[in-house]
Amino acid sequence: MDAATIPTSLDAWPRYRPDLKPAPFLPMSRAEMDVLRWDACDIIVITGDAYLDHPSFGMALIGRMLEAQGFRVGIISQPDWLSAEPFRALGKPRLFYGITAGNMDSMINRYTADKKPRSDDAYTPHAAPAKRPDRAVTVYAQRAREAYPNANIIIGSIEASLRRIAHYDHWSEKVRRSVLPDSKADLLIFGNAERAVVELAHRLAAGEPIESIRDLRGTAFMVKRGWRPADDWQEVDSLNLDRPGRIDPLPDPYAMEPQQTATAPNADGSAPIQIVPAAARVATRKAQRAKTVVRLQSYEAIKDDKVLYAHNSRVFHLESNPGNARALVQAHGERDVWLNPPPIPLTTEEMDFVFDRPYARAPHPSYGKAHIPAWEMIRFSINIMRGCFGGCTFCSITEHEGRIIQSRSEGSILREIEDIRDKVPEFKGHISDLGGPTANMYRMACKSKTIEESCRRLSCVYPGICENLNTDHTSLIQLYRKARALPGVKKITIGSGLRYDLAVRSPEYVKELVTHHVSGLLKIAPEHTEEGPLAKMMKPGIGSYDRFKQLFDKYSKEAGKKQYLVPYFIAAHPGTTDEDMLNLAIWLKKNDFRPDQVQTFTPTPLAMATTMYHTRKNPLRKVTADSEEVITPRSAAQRKLHKALLRYHDPAGHDIIREYLREIGRMDLIGNSPQHLIPREPPAHTRREAKPNKRPKLHPQSPITKRH
């Protein structure tokens, strides 16, 4: 990273209000503002979640970060969106409204993969449903604009991140515009927002108009067609960038052919040849990329052209590394959506600064003793890192948090454990998780910063683990040991998804985990057994799972414990045939697994698997009209069959499976002995209608960001 791209550290900004003290809770009413002697809020965060003052919840994390900068921050939680009046509850913010749908995308929060309304909401008091609107970011932004037309409107959170360009929308089954023109927001902040939101607040406080703030990384905004930051910028059409073959062998984007420069002429008048040093070539290419914008194909072009949609998806993901990503622009009618490159990841010191704020570690007192499932799930867990370099195509971490791991220091994590011990009355000595998007990527990174900044691979671990990736688990092992040695800590279990293909690289880590940090069951996500769907997921083969299971069983036995793996699988993922699902069901039966909580593939905006679902094209390779066609389970009947096969043990799906097995001539799998997949159909006089299964409780963190 050159000096020009090194951002101001989060703790280096001068405090806007030097004497501002941390509030017990960020105020949610005028009465609370009066107690704090505030006449107005500088910033008001509007969220679709209940206000939980804990660093796992976006409104608290961003609110406390801005408070640390000396800004007065208020919270409007789950406002009634049917009028603008609730959005005036705290008055007009001096600087801006910050709009977030909450920790989850509102459409995933409100609907199942089959588009059925959910009966509860884990982020709401008493799990009450329907406390946020569909497409909450858009609705909240529109109401805030109605409340105060001249207020600055900033949108963010995972919902805004996933909708920053034109995208396929599963719920309306069409390509929708970027959220920017629909929300009428002044600015969209995507990904981890701390850097952008802190600089934005300080610049607005200094009097800079929001329409002139166009240089913040990690932001998107609407501009006139053809707008450029300066005259020396160049535009490249995305159609000129796509190239054939796999992603892995793409060349170093900073590499250049040796250039010839002339000094004094030779005796014959010709120019001498001089090789430009590598460092100079790299600097030249960086300078060129820093002033280049890639024009994606327009919303109008891709909404009805699936090949162009898949092409856009491929280019978008190849421009996602903060070290070499170029700006992107996409036309929407007569205007452009402009995306600056992704934010520079936080350093360990900055991560500590974010997580060391004075969080109350409790729901806002206005909720009384209301049961909030998300709080119950997360209150004794610790987030130790961000990001994931796995690149699973169905997962939204790539589009939101990115692939570069951002880790907290050991000291900061241990202090948070002590904070829980000393602040939370219900704590009985059990820390329920030390993790994040994954359980075991803590402090892992590319061995070379230069290689990391030039890399354009979509995954560091697929099709195999990159030789440049440091997979050392030593820091994580030491953290586990120090954490469980703290006074008052009786047990620490790991609840985040384990990346088992990394874990097998460190048998010492697996032994540590199995011996001390598994409470009978350990979640693990092979997702499938067959190569077809696994290749489209960018997940390792089932052999990696088998190797991990051997170590798990070995160390469980040595520890004298009876412990079990709980595997997670996805039904109806792009690339999955009916035969693939049948083979998975047979594998499950053979290994005596009876999955209860299963996931049917949900096409989330911008994910590469969603591109496969919508276009039946594979953006992992060059996309053309006659390129590879991806088998895509789309019909309700086929998705229902795949889910039934995944839950082969559930009588509710046996009729569907029997019909399928009869059609393909696999009657050998129907019978009443243990080796058969499903039983014979019972006689009509003994048959009872199967009762529908109760829907599993919604995990407070979306499956699109927690499964690995």
User: What CATH class is the domain 380-650+693-705?
Assistant: alpha beta
Q: Choose among 559, 572, 457, 441: nearest CA to 501.
A: 441
User: Which pair of structure tokens corresponds to residue 651?
Assistant: 């009588």
Could you give the C-alpha distances from 661 to 10, 641, 671, in angstroms and in order? 60, 11, 12
- Rounded average pLDDT per 10-residue block, the chain, 708 residues: 73 97 98 98 98 96 98 98 98 98 96 95 97 98 98 97 98 97 98 96 98 97 96 94 49 46 58 63 71 97 96 96 96 97 97 97 96 95 96 91 96 97 92 95 96 94 96 98 97 94 97 96 94 97 96 97 94 98 97 88 97 97 92 95 96 96 96 94 60 40 41
For the stretch 268-323, pLDDT in tens is 666 666 666 656 656 666 778 889 999 999 999 999 999 999 999 999 999 999 99
CA dihedral 388, 390, 393, 399 (to 10 degrees): 20
* Domain range annotation of the chain: 3-233+289-339, 380-650+693-705
What is the Cβ-side half-sphere exposure of residue 689, based on CA atoms within 13 angstroms? Answer: 2
Single pTM value for the model: 0.90
Q: What angle do CA 12, 16, 18 make, to 5 degrees?
A: 90
Pairing, β 96-100 against β 52-53: unpaired
In three-state secondary structure terms, 65 is helix
Could you give the C-alpha distances from 433 to 51, 145, 430, 558, 708, in angstroms and in order? 21, 40, 9, 23, 16
CB atoms within 10 A of CB 164: 25
